[in-house]
Structure 1
Amino acid sequence: MDKKFEPLFENVTLPNKAELRNKFVLAPLTHTSSNDDGTISDVEINYMEQRSTDVGLAITAASYVTDLGKSFPGHPSVSRDSDLDGLKRLAAAMKKNGAKAIAQIHHGGAQALPRLTSSGEAAAPSPITLKSFDESEEHYARQITQDEIEETITAFGEATRRAIEAGFDGVEIHGANHYIIQQFVSPHYNRRDDEWGEDRLKFPMRVVDEVVNAVKTHTDDSFIIGYRFSPEEAENPGITMEITEDLVKHLVEKPLDYLHVSLMDVHAKTRVGKYQGEERIKLLHEWIDGRMPLLGIGSIFTPEQALEAVETGNIELLALGREILLDHNFVNKIENDATDTIISKFDPYREDKHDLPPNLWDAFNDGFYPLPRTDGK
């Protein structure tokens, strides 16, 4: 290995003393490849094993905690005890080569697809109409009831129990990407006049506490708990960096092991407000103030970009998304001095189709996700 890349392969110790063998993380990536009922498919097992082989931490695709939160075709479930057999296979495959395996627990809220939920509806903090995922027309999401809020919080705890029983090393609470936890924080989605609207951090903090209590009840401190969040919204009013500052300062008081910021560009700058023009990742790192590692992600396609992101000193862990889909040997090639063979562009004519599940390859080929391409499209 080229000596300059050694910082990428330093061990990372989480607050609960769990040891990660390097700074690379398999990002939670929507693959639309689970069975229709949410159980784990064979093609999903192979795909996840390949991409977990060399990283320090591997995170599953977002996995729904209740049927009302189902948001994608082929969306994996962690909502029923009957899911456990598949989840056990998935955890074992992800851990097979030494990575820590994390189950990302999720509820779509307004972003859930009514055609996929058993009741044919979606529910959000406040009523809203929107388009989600692959929809061509908007759908309506009704206001979630008080009882359903409590049921959803409990479901995050039950999903954590299942992750423990399945053999995962931890869970990541999905509080990002306009899903239900972020929706409660957001003034765009949450216009309630009850306790859940007066304190927009109440729902995420209750979810965190429920997950923490589930861990205390069913396992020990070696189980990892992470939290993912999006720092800004384009909507006005929406989540600003000032709101995120408040969120982060609450989260660092919880017994979490890392925070994961969802970004399209790891160096993205603040849009508006008193922090306008400042790099979000730098601000977040300052607010966390060493209490726990910050996991960053966003448009990393080359070893040099990975090294640059880590050497800023603003992140302790680096998630790979689209790049590890293009080349699941990305980390191995850096470690074994084969960087000149890294695949960093989507090639629609590759016979192996980048070893992607068919549904995900189709999405790439159709341009559903932005990424560099060999055909210039």
Structure 2
Amino acid sequence: MAHIHTPFQLKGLALKNRIVMAPMCQYSVEAKDGKPNDWHFVHYVSRAVGGTGLIIMEMTDVEPDGRITDYDLGLWSDEHIPAFARIISEVKKYGAKIGIQIGHAGRKAEDAEVPVAPSAIAVSDKYKTPRALTTGEAKQLVQKYKEAARRAVEAGVDTIEIHGAHGYLIHQFHSPSINKREDEYGQDLAKFGVEVIQAMKSVMPEEMPLLFRISAVEYIDGGYGLDHSIELCRRYKEAGVDMFHISSGGEGPIGKERKPGNYPGFQVPMARAIKEALDVPVIAVGMLEEPKLAEATIANGDADLVGIARGMLRDPYWALHAIQAVTGEVTPPKQYIRGF
């Protein structure tokens, strides 16, 4: 039996298969206003036509200076809602479910005049030195995450993912190497993330699952390992996270102590470790675009879902092609049956 093509249910989220389009920034906002445009419409809808079970829209930021670049998406205003709703509504017509990844770049905000972060530590000499947030400003940002989640719900999403990986703001708060604060957010490294989770859950329907993307290990010298991320996930699960999306790294220059893998499936053991430690569903991601590897990841119980990123940039119909490769048969949209 093919596992990749089996349904999956998490609270009120019912997926037709185990394939996730992982969020990937498009840097394609035209007017720097944060609103998705026709590029984003075609980009996401074509992956729905292509058979994807769950599409997670790229990192969408809670304030203008929270963007990696000024060409990124935002949900800091109610004026953004209609443009997102147009895409979300169309994606659903093809049997896909869709969520939005909510985030803030923190010290990795390249176009912010003065980026903000837990502490005034730059990513590297290629980045601006950020200004440390005050305690009050950190609490205001929690509310901005909450308002972004409210807008995502109003736009019609099926789920929401919090970006707590790849060196962005929440990751910066829960990293001992980056967070050198002496206030409550320094004494408890999970506190900022926990407050964001609780705030966002307060405006989400009870049956809508909340996802959280985390870097399971860091690659800077002195960076944290799996033991630290498992404890973070434990706290985040208690706060209300329903599923974790397991990635790694992105926090800064790669050191000498730990190197990232550069081979298919290198992050899968991290996903399995968190799944087993916390008895929680997980999405595995990272060079899983070979269909039989994606299938094995599910069949082995390493993860519940597989996230495909660059593979879907190359092939909008990756899901249909993968299901066909694994099962020998597939049901494409009626307009494309002749091609299969």
Class of the TM-score when normalised by the shorter of the 2 chains: 0.7 to 0.9
Match runs of 1:133-212 below 5 Å: 137-212=126-201
Match runs of 1:196-235 below 5 Å: 196-215=185-204, 220-235=205-220
Q: Which moved more, 1:103-112 or 1:233-242?
A: 233-242
Residue number in structure 1 paired with 2:271: 281
Partner of residue 29 from structure 2, selected from 34, 37, 48? 34
Residue number in structure 1 paired with 2:255: none
> What is the CA distance between 1:106 and its match in structure 2?
0.5
Residue number in structure 1 paired with 2:123: 130
CA distance in 2, matches of 1:261, 1:329: 23
Q: Which amino acid aligns with 2:128?
A: H
> What is the CA distance between 1:338 and its match in structure 2?
9.5
> What is the CA distance between 1:309 and its match in structure 2?
1.6
CA distance in 2, matches of 1:230, 1:221: 27
Tell me the alpha carbon deviations over residues 213-268 of structure 1, each in whole angstroms, 9 at most, x when there is no partner: 111xxxx3232311110011112332221111211222232333311111476743
Residue number in structure 2 paired with 1:242: 227
Residue number in structure 2 paired with 1:313: 301
Residue number in structure 1 paired with 2:19: 24
Residue number in structure 1 paired with 2:47: 51
Match runs of 1:288-303 below 5 Å: 288-289=278-279, 292-303=280-291
> What is the CA distance between 1:310 and its match in structure 2?
1.5
> What is the CA distance between 1:138 and its match in structure 2?
2.6
Q: Which amino acid aligns with 2:123?
A: L
Partner of residue 310 from structure 2, selected from 312, 315, 322? 322
Tell me the alpha carbon deviations over residues 325-351 of structure 1, each in whole angstroms, 9 at most, x when there is no partner: 1011111123345999xxxxxxxxxxx
CA-based RMSD? 2.1
Would you say the 8 A contact 1:188–1:236 is kept in 2?
no
Tell me the alpha carbon deviations over residues 66-86 of structure 1, each in whole angstroms, 9 at most, x when there is no partner: 122111242001111111121
1:254 aligns with 2:251: no
Tell me the alpha carbon deviations over residues 82-112 of structure 1, each in whole angstroms, 9 at most, x when there is no partner: 1112111121133221111101101001111
Q: 1:130 to 1:253 in 2, by over 3 A?
A: closer
CA distance in 2, matches of 1:148, 1:238: 26
Percent identity of equivalent pairs: 27
Tell me the alpha carbon deviations over residues 170-195 of structure 1, each in whole angstroms, 9 at most, x when there is no partner: 21011111000010000111001111
CA distance in 1, matches of 2:272, 2:154: 37
Residue number in structure 1 paired with 2:253: none
> What is the CA distance between 1:52 and its match in structure 2?
2.7
Would you say the 8 A contact 2:197–2:240 is kept in 1?
no
Q: 1:337 to 1:109 in 2, by over 3 A?
A: closer
Q: 1:298 to 1:337 in 2, by over 3 A?
A: closer
Would you say the 8 A contact 1:300–1:320 is kept in 2?
yes
**Which residues of structure 2 form unaligned runs of 5+?**
249-260, 329-340
| Residue aligned with 2:39, SS | helix
> What is the CA distance between 1:322 and its match in structure 2?
0.5
Q: Which moved more, 1:28-37 or 1:206-215?
A: 28-37
Q: Which amino acid aligns with 1:77?
A: G
Tell me the alpha carbon deviations over residues 127-163 of structure 1, each in whole angstroms, 9 at most, x when there is no partner: 01235xxxx9331111111221011100111001000
**TM-score for the superposition, normalised by structure 1:** 0.78
**TM-score for the superposition, normalised by structure 2:** 0.87
CA distance in 1, matches of 2:193, 2:264: 24
CA distance in 2, matches of 1:30, 1:110: 17
Tell me the alpha carbon deviations over residues 32-52 of structure 1, each in whole angstroms, 9 at most, x when there is no partner: 112321111111110111123
